[in-house]
């Protein structure tokens, strides 16, 4: 959420940002919220004046009563009463205006970084760099669920009977591989200086609206019926929420955290043929990285975060590339975002396995996460990035490590987490 003062002083910049994000329908909101803000400041100024006047008159009444000037004191009491009625009216007006301003400000997107390419949707995202050599083997690579079934590693039918579409059972070596990847990712991030956390898997509505836009909330979140609780779509939600309504001492920054959690998502509208199996599902597990830092450091941390994911995938012999998300593909709170995509030898193309985002002070402003610095208090910057998110990540892993005989190579970095195995042998 932007600072209303910034919007008031830079209306044309805010409008241009809306154009860059292809949200022209929101442009009238800029003038509307500036007008509401002007009315709010006028009401507040009059209310503050009445409060000050009330305190002054109260002292005068006390003095008059002590002097026996009861009639004059009664006249002042009437004035206080009249002022009280007007003050009550102004306070109600202040509350209504504040609610309207907040409602609009929650829908005006963050100002994107000048380096972000302008584009309407994800088809206009820009490739930045490739890492590793994409290989297409001279044998046919089956669909990922077919590979898993050769190891008796997946049961979608039973999961459908138990929970419906979008769920799965992982079994045997495939389940063990899933856990091995998570454990390796945890240790990988700890070795890079991040503090490991396991957060709450449910959060309250004020945290939800603090970490994401309303559109994202509707598309992603599962609500717990009858309670002010939502299942998290990523541990970033509860990890950033950990700092809600806090003042952080500047000397303790940056906060560099890596968190494990299950994730729950509605995934509305995901019905493509390549989104079957375990590609786009309602429940999965993820290792995440989160940074809370000073504003001047967020650009540096953004580059470090996405590089961590690239390094992790390359350590498992998986070719990847980074894409910079264009303006129209950025969620409203984001300043800048990179997607990390892994190579799929079967599809002969890359697909998303992680997303790195710099949100500037948008989440901090909504959640009131402030920093106590040498020159006063200011809002922190927050960033997040996927370390790894199986079981989707397993698609890339299985395809890139599959052999012609159906076996799957286990890279050296994962072997300690797989009981020393260097290869998985299919059952079928």
pLDDT at 369 over 60: yes
| pLDDT of the residue at 234 | 93
CA–CA separation, 16 and 141 (whole Å): 47
More confident residue, 9 or 268: 9
CA–CA separation, 250 and 379 (whole Å): 11
Express each pLDDT in 277-325 by its tens digit. Answer: 898 899 999 999 999 999 999 999 999 999 999 999 999 999 999 999 9
Q: Measure the CA angle with vertex 83, ends 78 and 88; round to 5°.
A: 130
Which residues are registered as beta bridge partners of 126? Answer: 324
Domain extent listing, the chain: 4-105, 122-424
The arithmetic mean of pLDDT across residues 44-68, rounded, is 73
122-424 carries CATH number 3.30.930.10: yes
Which residues are registered as beta bridge partners of 336? Answer: 358
- Helix (H/G/I), strand (E/B), else coil: 106: coil
pLDDT at 9 over 50: yes
Question: How many C-beta atoms lie closer than 10 Å to residue 376's C-beta?
Answer: 8
| pLDDT of the residue at 184 | 98
* Residue 317 Ramachandran class (φ > 0 left, ψ -120 to 50 alpha, else beta): left
Q: In terms of Cα–Cα distance, which of 303, 289, 270 is closest to 386?
A: 289
pLDDT at 349 over 90: yes
Q: How confident is the model at residue 95 (pLDDT cuts 50, 70, 90)?
A: very high
The arithmetic mean of pLDDT across residues 25-54, rounded, is 91
Instruction: Tell me whether strands 195-197 and 255-264 are parallel, antiparallel or unpaired.
Output: parallel
Q: In terms of Cα–Cα distance, which of 325, 230, 231 is closest to 284?
A: 231
Express each pLDDT in 241-287 by its tens digit. Answer: 999 999 999 999 999 999 999 999 997 654 554 557 898 899 999 99
Number of helices (H) and strands (E), helices first, in the chain?
13, 18
**All residues at 6 or more sequence positions from 94 whose CB lies less than 8 Å from its CB, including other chains:** 40, 43, 44, 47
Rg of the chain taking only CA atoms, in angstroms: 28
| pLDDT of the residue at 273 | 47
| Statement: the pTM of the whole predicted model exceeds 0.75 | yes
| pLDDT of the residue at 213 | 78
| pLDDT of the residue at 285 | 96
| pLDDT of the residue at 217 | 79
Q: What is the largest CA-CA distance in the chain?
A: 107
User: For 33-47, 53-67, 76-90, 206-220, which range has the lowest pLDDT when averaged over its residues?
Assistant: 53-67
Q: In terms of Cα–Cα distance, which of 216, 209, 219, 317 is closest to 269?
A: 219
- Helix (H/G/I), strand (E/B), else coil: 286: strand
Pick the CATH number of 4-105 from 3.20.20.70, 3.30.360.10, 1.10.287.40, 3.40.50.1000: 1.10.287.40
The arithmetic mean of pLDDT across residues 141-160, rounded, is 95
pLDDT at 37 over 70: yes
Q: How confident is the model at residue 62 (pLDDT cuts 50, 70, 90)?
A: low
Q: How confident is the model at residue 136 (pLDDT cuts 50, 70, 90)?
A: very high
Characterize 151-188 residue by residue with b for buried, 16 or more Cβ atoms within 10 angstroms of its Cβ, and e for exposed: bebbbbeebeeeeeebbbebeebbbbbbebbbbbbbbb
- Please, is 54 exposed, middle or buried when counting C-beta atoms within 10 Å of its C-beta (0-12, 13-18, 19+)? middle
| pLDDT of the residue at 47 | 87
Please give the structure tokens belonging to residue 179. 């856990």
Please give the structure tokens belonging to residue 41. 């400041």
Cis amide bond preceding 352, omega within 30: no
User: How high is the mean pLDDT of the chain?
Assistant: 92
Percent of the chain at pLDDT > 70 equals 92
Is the sign of the CA dihedral 189, 193, 199, 205 positive or negative? negative
């Amino acid at each position: 959420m932007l600072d209303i003062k910034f919007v008031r002083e830079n209306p044309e910049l805010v409008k241009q940002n809306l154009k860059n994000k292809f949200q022209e329908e929101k442009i009238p909101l800029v003038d509307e919220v500036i007008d509401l803000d002007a009315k709010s400041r006028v009401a507040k100024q009059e209310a503050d004046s009445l409060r000050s006047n009330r305190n002054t008159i109260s002292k005068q009444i006390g003095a008059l009563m002590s002097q026996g000037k009861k009639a004059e004191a009664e006249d002042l009491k009437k004035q206080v009463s009249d002022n009280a009625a007007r003050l009550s009216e102004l306070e109600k007006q202040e509350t209504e205006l504040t609610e309207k301003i907040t409602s609009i400000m929650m829908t005006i997107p963050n100002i994107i970084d000048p380096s972000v390419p302008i584009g309407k949707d994800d088809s206009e995202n820009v490739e930045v760099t490739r890492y590793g050599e994409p290989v297409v083997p001279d044998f046919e690579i089956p669909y990922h669920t077919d590979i898993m079934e050769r190891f008796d590693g997946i049961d979608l039918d039973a999961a459908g009977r138990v929970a419906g579409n979008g769920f799965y059972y992982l079994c045997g070596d495939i389940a063990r591989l899933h856990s091995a990847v998570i454990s390796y990712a945890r240790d990988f991030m700890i070795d890079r200086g991040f503090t490991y956390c396991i957060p709450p898997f449910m959060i309250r509505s004020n945290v939800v609206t603090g970490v994401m836009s309303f559109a994202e909330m509707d598309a992603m979140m599962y609500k717990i019926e009858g309670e002010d609780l939502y299942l998290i779509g990523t541990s970033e939600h509860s990890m950033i929420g950990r700092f809600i309504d806090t003042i952080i001492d500047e000397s303790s920054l940056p906060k560099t955290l890596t968190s494990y959690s299950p994730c729950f998502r509605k995934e509305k509208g995901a019905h493509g043929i390549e989104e079957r199996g375990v590609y786009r599902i309602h429940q999965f597990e993820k290792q995440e990285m989160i940074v809370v830092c000073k504003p001047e450091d967020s650009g540096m941390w953004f580059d470090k975060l996405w590089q961590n994911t690239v390094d992790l995938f390359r350590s498992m012999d998986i070719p990847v590339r980074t894409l910079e998300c264009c303006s129209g593909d950025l969620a409203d709170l984001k300043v800048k975002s990179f997607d990390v995509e892994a190579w799929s030898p079967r599809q002969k193309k890359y697909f998303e396995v992680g997303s790195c985002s710099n949100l500037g002070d948008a989440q901090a402003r909504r959640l009131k996460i402030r920093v106590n610095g040498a020159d006063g208090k200011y809002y922190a910057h927050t960033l997040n990035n996927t370390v790894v998110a199986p079981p989707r990540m397993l698609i890339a892993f299985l395809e890139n490590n599959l052999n012609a005989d159906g076996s799957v190579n286990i890279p050296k970095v994962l072997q300690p987490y797989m009981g020393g195995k260097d290869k998985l042998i299919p059952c079928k």
